[in-house]
Amino acid sequence: MAAPADPSAAPVAPPPDSGRLDAGRAGAAALSAYVIWGLSAAFYKFLGFASATEIVLHRAVWSVPLLALLVWMAGRAPTAWRLMTDRRAMAMLLFSAILIASNWWVFVWAINADRVLDVSLGYFINPLMNVAVGVFIAGERFGRLRMVAVGLAVIGVINQIVAVGEIPWIGLFLAASFTAYGYIRKTIATDGRVGLFWETLIISLPSLVALFFLEASGGGGSFLAAPGQAILLILTGPMTVAPLLLFIIGARGLHFATIGLLQFVAPTLQFSVGIIWGETFTFAHAITFAFIWAGLAVFTLDLLSSRRRAIARES
């Protein structure tokens, strides 16, 4: 969804609290977040004047003040300051910052290289990769349906390698980096907004230095080249933070199963952007996506079945 603004920027959802927010408004907020993440692929198409590296540098820099405001408004500023004394947490946040920065870079590079379909493939694979990590690394137990879903996704990737003749490294990297990012973030006991603030702050410090030298080098940077370009680069901050805020608002009133279904909105819109922009999509590509979508259908069926069983136990 990196990529989260794309889905690579979304934190692990907090426990839903339907009593704090109307389910309809929560659903609208969460859906808006995923729509923005999905359509961000089109937004970054208009930043083709800058390199992926320069765009990521600006994205980190302009996200920090907005995230700082978000943390302050949420009353999490004391938590953010206290986290500085936790060396383990800060070390893990440094690692997660590197992961999310690399996710952002590949996401932006792929879009500017007309590889949006590969991006969407990665974020379609992401929830199924989470299942695989849960089983083989975290030792979690999943039902047969989820294992079938993962198997279908693996067949899709194999088809991409054999029939299309290429390793879908962009999609695999985006899915793997965001899966690893989410796994690491689960080990850090802090609010998602606070964690993302520190991650972007960590990235922004060297980013400011790099941007200074880029602009001072004369003709190397895009920010001072034209007002329109500067505005678009500044907007990378709101494009990162706005869907994050909407997601946090929506997650308060939604069940995990609902959030699990909504997460497919972003890669679906990314896929649409790739098709509209005329990217190559052959029959072999269609087979790859068909297996991935079949896996997601099985995964969705399992999510809905689990939700119905939970409701039955509560009643």
What's the pLDDT at 144? 80
More confident residue, 294 or 14: 294
pLDDT digits (tens, 9 = 90+) for 88-145: 999 999 999 999 999 999 999 999 999 999 999 999 988 888 777 776 676 666 678 8
Contacts of 280 (CB under 8 A, 6+ apart): 117
Dist CA 142 CA 131 (whole Å): 8
Q: What pLDDT is stored for residue 132 in this prediction? A: 77
For 198-227, what is the mean pLDDT?
88
Q: Are 177 and 122 in contact (CB under 8 A)?
A: no
Question: What pLDDT score does 217 carry?
Answer: 78
Residue from 311, 314, 306, 265 nearest 143 by CA: 306
In this prediction, residues 66-89 reach a mean pLDDT of 92
Residue entry with tokens 């389910």: 23
**pLDDT averaged over the chain?**
85
Amino acid at 38: G
- Do residues 216 and 168 touch, judged by C-beta distance below 8 A? no
Residue 83's pLDDT band, with cuts at 50, 70 and 90, is very high
Q: How far apart are CA 221 and CA 214, in angstroms?
A: 5
Banded pLDDT at 184 (limits 50, 70, 90): confident
- Report the alpha-carbon distance of residue 125 to residue 147 in Å, rounded: 13
In this predicted structure, what is the pLDDT of residue 12?
43
Contact of 269 with 32, CB cutoff 8 Å: no
Mean pLDDT of 181-192: 83
Name the band, by pLDDT with cuts 50, 70 and 90, for residue 284: very high
The answer, yes or no, to whether residue 15 has pLDDT greater than 50, is: no
- Phi/psi zone of residue 12: left (φ > 0), alpha (ψ -120 to 50 degrees), beta? beta
- Helix, strand, coil % (nearest 5) of the chain? 75, 0, 25
Most confident range (mean pLDDT) of 163-167, 196-200, 307-311 is: 196-200
Residue 303 · residue 309 · CB < 8 Å: no
Q: Is the separation of the CB atoms in 192 and 182 below 8 Å?
A: no
Split at pLDDT 50, 70, 90, the class of 271 is very high
Sorted by sequence, the CB contacts under 8 Å of residue 268 that are 6+ apart come out as 38, 120
Least confidently predicted of 17-31, 65-79, 190-204, 259-273: 17-31
Over the stretch 285-309, which tens digit does the pLDDT of each residue have? 999 999 999 988 888 888 778 777 7
**Coil, strand or helix at 141:** coil
Chain CA centroid to CA 120, Å = 11
On the question of pLDDT at 235 being above 70, the answer is: yes
Q: Is 103 exposed, middle or buried (0-12, 13-18, 19+ CB in 10 A)?
A: buried
CA-to-CA distance for 159 and 155, rounded, in angstroms? Answer: 6
Which of 3-7, 188-192, 268-272 bottoms out in mean pLDDT, i.e. has the lowest?
A: 3-7
What is the arithmetic mean of pLDDT over 194-215? 92
**Other C-beta atoms within 10 Å of 119: how many?**
31
DSSP-derived letter for residue 252 is T
Give me the pLDDT at residue 25, please: 83
Q: What percent of the chain has pLDDT over 70?
A: 88
Residue with tokens 């039902």: 143
User: What CA–CA distance (Å, rounded) separates 308 from 294?
Assistant: 21
Whether the Cβ atoms of residue 123 and residue 268 lie closer than 8 Å to each other: no
pLDDT score recorded for residue 13: 43
State the DSSP code for 12. Answer: P
- The answer, yes or no, to whether residue 255 has pLDDT greater than 80, is no
pLDDT value at residue 256: 66
**Whether pLDDT at 5 is above 50:** no
Tell me the pLDDT tens digit for each residue of 139-166: 666 678 878 888 898 899 999 888 888 8
Give the mean pLDDT of 61-85. 92
Cα–Cα distance between 227 and 80 in angstroms, integer?
34
